Amino acid sequence: MKRLWAWAALIIGLLYFILPLVGMTNFSLKMRRGEYSFDAYAKVFADSRFHETFSYSVWMALLTIIFGVFLVVPTAYWVRLKLPFLRPYIEFITLLPLVIPAIVIVFGYIRLYNTSSWLPLTGSYVGTDILLVFGYATLSLPYMYRAVDTGLRTIDVTTLTEAAQSLGAGWVTIIGRIILPNVTVAVMSGAFVTFAIVMGEFTMAALLNKPAFGPYMQLLGANRAYEPAALAVIAFGITWACLGLMQLVSKLQKTPQRPV
């Protein structure tokens, strides 16, 4: 009896999740009247705006990941090594982007870094690119910091540092050649989440007027019928691939540690 209820709850729940996925896939294949075809996908892939916005977002995602790694790994390492009493505060700060809506943060950017301010980032094309990367880095901070901090927990930071120092290594060597290789898996799982977030992000890119994938999807959705469904399938594929890879990577980490 109990098991019956459990199955019922699970199946009804899963139905809710599967129907939209089936719905969008089905709709994306119906562009040609009366039969299934990949016409909508062909239309999307033939659109030069798709290529431009998609590659722009990929670049933004990669820059965000690189910047995020440079920002988070040394900080998380340093806090663990030298300022452990700061950890709760730093963790609280890194969770703030989940509390303050992205639209509020980007509103603040627009007002704080406008053309008449001391740091006129919104005044130039490259400036808004930089601002967008910083914005994305802020949005991914909760995930990146948590991933790296968890990774650092599994290694003995103090001993590794002292060993490296006694062999004459400087701080750059320690972080770049000792700490970073040891938390690669954590960094990668943070990177995949960041990639998924950046590829689908709409609000910041739209309000900073950048040609990113999110605003492109929204624009297409307002004007077309079948192509948006194809885009939704593609976007779901990206999200799935990113988080699937993340799971795979974290499994790879566990296996070599056990035999030792």
Partner 1 sequence: MSTETANGAPGAAPAQPLQRLPLHWLGILPFAAFVLLFLILPTMKIVIGAFQTPDGSLTFTNVAGLFTPSILAAYWISIKISFASAILGCLIGFAMAAAVVLGGLPRTIRGPLLTFSGVASNFAGVPLAFAFLATLGPVGLVTVFLRSELGIDLRLLGFNILSFWGLTITYLFFQIPLMILIITPALDGLKREWREAASILGATNAQYWRLVAFPILLPSLLGTLALLFANAFGAVATAIALTGSSLNIVPILLFAQIRGDVLGDPHLGYALAFGMIVVTGIANAIYIWLRARSERWLK
Q: Could you say which residues in the range 64-103 bind partner 1, by CB under 8 A? A: 71-72, 74-75, 78-79, 82-83, 86, 90, 93, 96-103
Does residue 202 bind partner 1 (CB under 8 A)?
yes
Q: How far is the CB of 67 from partner 1 (least distance, A)?
A: 9
Residue 107 CB, shortest distance to partner 1, in Å, is: 5
Q: Which is nearer to partner 1, 62 or 221 (CB)?
A: 221
Count of residues engaged in binding partner 1, rule: CB under 8 A: 77
Query: Binding string, 124-163, against partner 1, x = CB under 8 A?
Result: ----------xx-xx--x----------------------
| 253 contributes a contact to partner 1 by CB under 8 A | no
Indicate which single residue of 44, 69, 193, 198 sits in contact with partner 1 (rule: CB under 8 A): 193
Report if residue 33 touches partner 1, rule: CB under 8 A.
no
Span 230-249, contacts to partner 1 by CB under 8 A: 231-232, 235-236, 239-240, 243-244, 247
Q: Does 22 bind partner 1 (CB under 8 A)?
A: yes
Nearest to partner 1 of 75, 150 (CB atom): 75
CB-nearer residue toward partner 1: 16 or 125: 16
178 binds partner 1 (CB under 8 A): no
Closest CA to 49 of 223, 192, 207, 203: 223
Residue 19 found at the interface with partner 1 (CB under 8 A): yes
Phi then psi for 151, rounded to 5 degrees? Answer: -60, -40
Stretch that binds partner 1, among 25-33, 48-56, 149-157, 178-186 (CB under 8 A): 25-33
Q: Which of 69, 109, 152, 187 binds partner 1 (CB under 8 A)?
A: 109
* Amino acid symbol at 127: G
Asked whether position 196 contacts partner 1 by CB under 8 A, the answer is yes
Torsion of CA 94, 100, 105, 107, to 10 degrees: -170
Asked if 253 and 185 count as a contact pair (C-beta separation under 8 A), the reply is: yes
Q: Let me know how long the chain is.
A: 260
